[in-house]
Copies of this chain bind each other. A is one copy, B any other.
């Protein structure tokens, strides 16, 4: 069970060229920005070395910011199958870094993430950046990759809030959820 009062969340936007990350903190209903950035993976070189770059970069982010949970965007399959394969390998490496650090990992689709920050699933990149800036009271606009990663983390907080609210309502009705089922 996570602490619902204070929680530090790491969001990840995976990619083989750029992997975005964003760390936020949730205190009750209030969100605050901790850090964000982009792990740049060298375009040259063999795949194993590039995946190691993701593992090492993620490990450094985790060691520096000590999140308690992680959230990663469910990626879309790309029109180009070779790109889909490369993206899959990059995402696999990012998830490996998270499980090696023993972080619980939640996954949300881009649609869910956009809905939670911008109110609809077809929001443009720029709208996501703007909403992330507003929700976290940032002085500047985050890069697209950082914004997507921060948005993933924000999405998780709204998911937790909904689950908690639903739990509260159910409790008042004398019910609870166990193993995905309502029990009296």
Contacts and interface: CB of A to CB of B under 8 A. Distances in A.
A34 interface: no
Contact of A89 (B52, B82, B88, B98): B88
Interface stretch (A17-25, A99-107, A127-135, A151-159): A99-107
A39 interface: no
Interface stretch (A43-51, A141-149, A167-175): A43-51
Q: How many copies does the complex hold?
A: 2
Interface string A46-85: 1111011001000000000000000000010110011011
A48 B70 CA distance: 11
A168 to B, nearest CB: 26
A95 interface: yes
Interface residues of A, number: 30
A177 interface: no
A86 interface: yes
A111 interface: no
A8 to B, nearest CB: 18
Contact of A100 (B55, B75, B90, B91): B55
A164 to B, nearest CB: 21
Nearest to A48: B105
Contact of A92 (B49, B51, B75, B99): B51
25 contacts: A48-B95, A48-B98, A48-B105, A48-B107, A49-B99, A51-B92, A51-B95, A51-B96, A52-B96, A52-B99, A77-B81, A77-B82, A81-B81, A84-B88, A85-B85, A86-B88, A87-B88, A88-B91, A88-B92, A89-B91, A89-B92, A89-B95, A90-B92, A92-B96, A96-B96
Interface of A: 46-49, 51-52, 55, 75, 77-78, 81-82, 84-93, 95-100, 105, 107
